[in-house]
Chain A
Amino acid sequence: MGLDKSLAELAIAEARKMGAKYADARLEKSVWESITVKDGKVERVKSGEIQGLGLRVLLKTWGFASTTELNKKALKRTAAAAVGMARSAGKVGKIRLSKIPVKQDKVRTKIALDPLSIPIEEKVNLCLESDRCARVDRFIRRTSVYLACEMVQKNFMSSEGADITFENTLTYCEVFALAKRGGVVEYMDDIAGGSAGFEIVKNFDPPTRAKKVGKRASQLAAAKTLPEKRTTVVLDQDLVALLCHEIIGHPSEADRVLGREAAWAGKAWWAGMRGKRIGSQLLNATDDPRIKGALGYYEYDDEGTPARRKELIREGILVEHMHSRETAAEFGVPPNGNMRAQSFEYLPLIRMSNTFIEPGDFTREELFEIREGVYLKGQKIPSIDSRRYNFQISAKEAFLIRKGELTGPFRGASIVGVAPEFFTSIDAVANDFEMRPVPNCGKGDPMQTIAVGNGGPHIRGVALVAGVR
């Protein structure tokens, strides 16, 4: 599938003619497919295509317009809308953009198996088999398998001369089981996803995963709950991934740090604290878009800035935030490539890419060598305050730790804490790093849902473990 770059050139030229100091265009075409199997029945099989162009212009402020009509007349109308609205703003500030190397490049995700070329029958049968495997016993009441893939071709051009094409393939699979015993309902899921082809699904082995998910859901529905207690906690990689997403990734976004997201996603409690200690020496956190295969993979962001690895927290010291060209100029630092949009229909925002806690030197077993504590496994649902200071995240299951031995599972547990206190309490970080897919990170107005990678190893700290209500 090819993109007609002359359309992007036309939109940029029109914007410049109308007075834009700077303009960039993202021309995109996306082809996708999804399969939903539920309770042994194929509920939905869908495919689609969308293409269009998003034009960003800088006058006194930012203007943006997008369209799914790819013809000259519509693009001129799009340019006029973007420029006209930006020009009409009276209450504006001075916007400076950090310089970036102007690149012409083509990037393509390497995939072993094109998910769109695999026959639908084969994918549907895999989903049906996996769904069947999840029904391990009579307590399983609902099962589902979701398989999705998307190929996105994107061309970024700017009035500075950038011309970058990115062809990316995203593949995703989720298995789910819900069990009911007596009046207790519990569910379990497992997911795989990344900037990769169908090999990610093959490696995930959905039938085997589904069987495990079914067993765990059934077991959990028979489990007891834990009393509320402040204690030593060990968190597994999946829960660490969401914790890192919520209380390290989001407050590292420079627009939050500057207070510009106060009305939406919120602020960052550590604003103004770069160079200061915010946690234990064992805490190291990184954002790295260039991890091949991870869901947040890219080589250039949606401003054309080359992507690079960033040390957000090093040995407990707050080091670097995630930037756009505009916020980098305000902070007086080089831009580091975190401006991303869900698609051509959205203005880019500062977003995390693959954000994770770095592995440490401990083995997982060493983390359990404590007198007592709670082992929390698996991410469920978060509730975080607007400064990303106070957090509560529910875990899929919990185990009591007593002198290295685990008993459980227990259901309904969640971790509650205050970010700096929890960061400071971290006294052991394991060496068993894992990256997890987070396909639905929301931010923006209108809301943008973007795919990111998050991860980490097992970590140990102190927090409140809350139970059911």
Chain B
Amino acid sequence: MLSQTQRALELAKGLGAEEAEAFLSDNTITTVRIASNRVVETKRVHEGGIGVCVAIKKKVGFSSGNELSEELVQRAVAIARARPPNPDFNGFPPRREPKPVADIYDRELEMAPGSEIVGLAEEMLEAALDFDKRVVQASGAINLIVERCAVSNTNGVQATDITTKIFGHLTAEAKGLNGGEGQGWMGSTSLKKFSANLIGKQAAELAVNSLDARSVEPGTYDVILEPNAAAELFYHVLSYAINGKDVYDQISYFSNSLGKTVASEAVNIDDWGNLPSGLCSKTIDDEGSPTQRTALIKEGRLVGFIYDWYYGGLAGGGSTGNGLRLGDFGRSHQLSPTPHTTNLVVHPGEFNAEEMIEDVKKGLLLSRIWYTYPITPQRGDFSTTSRCGFLISGGEICGAVKQVRIHENLPKLLRNLDGVGKEPQQIIPWGASASVYTPRIRFRRVRIS
């Protein structure tokens, strides 16, 4: 792969480019979807190609295609010659030696035949249906993603990366009063550590426990988010706020908060690109910068943002190893790098589930939330609905509750956060390109409608 990216640099220099960068991706994605208790789709996508970026006197052009050709590089050079310079262009990243990251590639997973993924999907389904006869319907999927890439630039960066991950999710439905719904989720970078059976059981157990749900009165409740729900909230409503591009664009509600207290002392959050066994860990980012652990919130104080090389430059620093080109199928040669989280890691606290619940007089335990978006992003106002929820009264769980809507403000909730669980889980939320590694979280005084 590196021979291709190096050749691209030679072509670019030969055509008059002063600086150049080439990124090659080669991804294989296998997906098996289950719906209505049967396998409905089996899919394998192979996508590869190269993207070339050239610079001539701060005039930058980009071109991509299925394969390297002189014409492709010429297009990038022609674009660069045709446009005005960008005074903010700060070149391409310098060469820094990446260090190996443990357990982010498994050859057994890469070589797993499609039929094995189909078998895992069926095992997940069976585990849900066999769990309890009230479980009548299940749908979900297993995805296997193998990403390979190579990046070279005229500053001497020459690096390759390969990662594997498998993750599955299942939504089970149980028959009974008001019906019950539950979700299971698991992901792993290796085949041996992945259990389809566990996903099915988790989904089924939650579906059965969610039966006979009743309505709750609108009002103010303490809310405990299970890891799945917390991951959804943090990915969709927090990760843009610590993204150097959104901070620069002033869409982030943390744009003027660096160094200030933005959350309770219980909150410690990092972006950890080289987390061993991390679902979205990488050796290098998509500009060739080594990935790293970047502290974002430390004991409630905002201490950092994530950057690619360009936005790091605009902020007066460098890259944090977060220059990523994330498409639907993973790292994509068709895209230019922008800052993006890798594994957003919420440090575990001291509480087990029982301890978090017993200190709640009137509250809700939410296992899953849905369609969580910052409806006023610059303020951190968000809206979401629950999918699996339980009422807490006097420190005890007293049954399932019907869907509620939460329209709240995350900066406010972060200050009202007073409990962090000690059992984190790693999750890739729906529609996300990064993982969140989080335990249960307890927020006080959340408005429910």
Contacts and interface: CB of A to CB of B under 8 A. Distances in A.
Interface in B54-74: 60-66, 72
Interface in B130-144: 137, 139-141, 143
B204 to A, nearest CB: 13
Contact of B407 (A51, A86, A385, A469): A469
A380 B47 contact: no
A2 interface: no
B62 A263 contact: no
B376 interface: yes
B294 interface: no
Interface string A413-450: 01010000000000000000000000000100111110
Contacts of B430: 264
Given A88-B118, A345-B45, A41 B87 contact: yes
A463 to B, nearest CB: 13
A250 to B, nearest CB: 11
A90 B116 CA distance: 12
B79 A187 contact: no
B46 interface: yes
Interface in A56-80: 61-70, 78
A142 interface: yes
Interface string A97-126: 000000000000000000000011100100
Interface stretch (B10-18, B92-100, B166-174, B274-282): B166-174
Interface residues of B, number: 95
Q: Which of B33, B372, B383, B447 is most buried by chain A, counting CB atoms within 10 A of its CB? A: B383
A128 B83 CA distance: 11
Interface string B385-404: 10100000000000000010
B139 A64 contact: no
Nearest to B329: A446
B405 A124 contact: no
A445 B143 contact: yes
Interface stretch (A160-168, A178-186, A271-279, A331-339): A178-186
Contacts of B251: 178, 185, 187
Interface in A141-178: 141-142, 178
Contact of B39 (A84, A91, A262, A445): A91
A145 to B, nearest CB: 14
A261 B29 CA distance: 20
B217 interface: no
A393 B61 CA distance: 38
B408 A469 contact: yes
Nearest to B37: A91
Contact of A52 (B31, B66, B72, B334): B66
Nearest to B447: A469
Interface string B1-19: 0000000000000000000
Nearest to B333: A48
A394 interface: yes
Contacts of B114: 81, 84-85, 88
A50 B75 contact: no
Interface string A257-268: 011111110100
A346 B336 CA distance: 22
Given A41-B88, A64-B42, A120 B83 contact: yes
A385 B370 CA distance: 7
Contacts of A449: 328
B374 interface: yes
B265 interface: no
A405 interface: no
Contacts of B65: 48-50
Given A82-B42, A383-B371, 10 more contacts: A44-B336, A85-B117, A85-B118, A119-B82, A121-B82, A262-B35, A264-B141, A264-B430, A347-B41, A393-B375
13 contacts: A45-B79, A50-B64, A51-B66, A61-B39, A68-B47, A85-B44, A263-B35, A345-B329, A386-B385, A390-B385, A416-B405, A446-B29, A468-B381
3 closest A-B pairs by CB: A88-B115, A85-B42, A383-B383
Interface of B: 29-49, 51, 60-66, 72, 75-76, 78-79, 82-88, 113-115, 117-119, 122, 125-126, 137, 139-141, 143, 169-171, 173, 181, 183, 249-251, 255, 328-329, 334, 336, 370-379, 381-385, 387, 403, 405, 407-409, 412, 430-431, 447, 449
Interface of A: 41-52, 61-70, 78, 81-82, 84-86, 88-93, 119-121, 124, 128, 141-142, 178, 180, 185-187, 255, 258-264, 266, 342, 345-347, 380-386, 390, 392-394, 412, 414, 416, 442, 445-449, 466, 468-469
